[in-house]
Amino acid sequence: MSTTTSIDAARAWLAQADTDPDHAYRWWLSSPGSVAILPAGRMWDVVELGPAQADQLAGHPAITGPVIRYDDRDRAFVLVPPGTRDTWTSQLAPCLSEVHYLSVPDPSRTAPPGVHWVIPPDGTGTLTEPALLAAALAEVAL
């Protein structure tokens, strides 16, 4: 799959999180660096990593799905399956779902400055397995 095709597939997948998918496209395509504000809980939940956790887990094999980095807040957000919040037991990082919104950059935005993808979505819907992420969090907390 070409890079352009992957980005188009990723946009289509991400846009499904919005009740009006065209809304996300309008934001992403309005200007370079734009983000779409998308709700958690529909297509994914998110686990919020603090700065040390984000740095320690960078490149960890447990993280197989998309990850967004907010440089201005020094946070990273790992996308996990919807419903994870209901079963998330790790006290090391919060899992966010309904009523939380995420600033989601265009899938082509993979470098700072600003909000960007550390691991961009590929359009297939692959997300990080919550149990593996919880284990990785425990591993780096030791």
pLDDT tens per residue, range 21-45: 999 999 998 877 789 999 999 999 9
User: What confidence tier does 2 reach under pLDDT thresholds 50, 70, 90?
Assistant: low
Residues of 57-83 as b/e, b for ≥16 C-beta within 10 angstroms? beeeebbebbbbbbeeeeebbbbbebe
pLDDT band, very low/low/confident/very high, at 117 (cuts 50, 70, 90): very high
131 CB burial (10 A radius; 0-12, 13-18, 19+)? middle
Q: What is the pLDDT of residue 73?
A: 77
- Model confidence at 135, pLDDT cuts 50, 70, 90, reads very high
CA distance 95 to 111: 24
User: Mean per-residue pLDDT for 112-123?
Assistant: 94
pLDDT category at 1 given cuts 50, 70, 90 is low
Q: What is the pLDDT of residues 50-96, one digit of tens each?
A: 999 999 999 999 999 999 999 877 899 999 999 999 999 999 999 99
What are the extents of the domains in the chain? 3-141
User: 105: which strand partners?
Assistant: 35
**Which phi and psi angles does 138 have, rounded to 5°?**
-65, -40
